Amino acid sequence: MRIEVLVDVKTILGEGPLWDVEQQRLYWIDSFGCNVFRCTADGREIRAWDVPGKIGSMALRKDGNGAICSLQDGFYALDFKTGDSTLINNPIGNNPAIRLNDGKVDRRGRFIAGSMDTMESGPNGELYRLDPDFKVTKLDSGIIVSNGPCWSPDDKIFYFADSWSGEIWAYDYDIHTGSVSNRRTFTKVDTSRGGAADGSTVDAEGYLWNAQVYDAKLVRYAPDGKVDRVIDMPVKKVTSVNFGGPNMDILFVTSMAKPPLPRFPGDGVLRGSLFAIYDLGIKGVPEPRFGA
């Protein structure tokens, strides 16, 4: 195994690595820099788009015309050709204390994303499903910071975390309707060093990978919730993970240069870098696109 800096763009709050198998390109975001980035698997041909607000996550569209983004005040459609962003649905209303955060697409083309308390102080966030017709349905509530949505390879389990609960949860998932039920604790995160569960992905073997922000660790959990492997990263503030590359065997890892709340120290010269981890001997599962 080897860890390399793939792109050094010093994202303020790098998040949401997303490998697109159709274009063979990696996307990621800067939540506080209000940017969407794209590059090749080896870090070349970097392109960036501005979005009109803090961005929590993004999903590519099946029609090939850009992306769906969860911005601070709602779901937006980003047109890659024009750079324009258009509001399509705002489930949180006019509340500056709440913004949309992490999200991913299920294998029926629905975008599942949660909101968060911007001061990370109370359970004021909710979990939403954005359908291809842009209808929004609330799936859960009582969340401080929504993070890490992903699915088991058979689509029967939906994983999700409230970063400050100290747990990653599992729900029963109905792939036909996009509904969740039977929330339970999948695993408890080691928070003794100040870390918390951030972005996640599930590999082809059904193991869940979680970036543990502020703790410089990536943790691989077996389907029964037990720790299978721990990778120590060169920066504390790792934020999210996603497999990609031509053979789906590179693990891309985002990080932040500056935490949104001043409770943790800096990370040195590598802060905010986009990392790539090679030779893990593990492959990921392609991410679906949004749309019918």
Distance CA 159, CA 195 (A): 19
Q: Is the pLDDT of residue 292 over 70?
A: no
Output the DSSP codes for 115-164: EEETTS-SS-EEEEEE-TTS-EEEEEEEESBEEEEEE-TTS-EEEEEEGG
Q: For residue range 53-91, what is the model confidence (pLDDT) as tens digits?
A: 999 999 999 988 799 999 999 999 999 999 999 999 999
Give the whole-number percent of the chain exceeding pLDDT 70.
99
Q: For residue range 196-250, what is the model confidence (pLDDT) as tens digits?
A: 999 999 999 999 999 999 999 999 999 999 999 999 999 999 999 999 999 999 9
pLDDT at 196: 95
Distance CA 13, CA 213 (A): 11
**pTM of the predicted protein model:** 0.97
pLDDT at 264: 74
Distance CA 94, CA 174 (A): 31
pLDDT at 267: 86
Q: For residue range 15-61, what is the model confidence (pLDDT) as tens digits?
A: 999 999 999 999 999 999 999 999 999 999 999 999 999 999 999 99
Q: For residue range 240-272, what is the model confidence (pLDDT) as tens digits?
A: 999 999 999 999 999 999 988 776 777 889 999
> Which residues face 274 on adjacent strands?
7
Residue 229 phi, psi (nearest 5): -160, 145
Catalytic residue flag (residue 198)? yes
Name, in order, each residue with C-beta under 8 angstroms of 192's C-beta and a sequence gap of 6 or more.
none
Query: Quick one: tokens of 248?
Result: 């789906």
Residue 163 phi, psi (nearest 5): -50, -35
Q: Which of 198, 203, 215, 267 is catalytic?
A: 198
Q: Is the pLDDT of residue 176 over 70?
A: yes
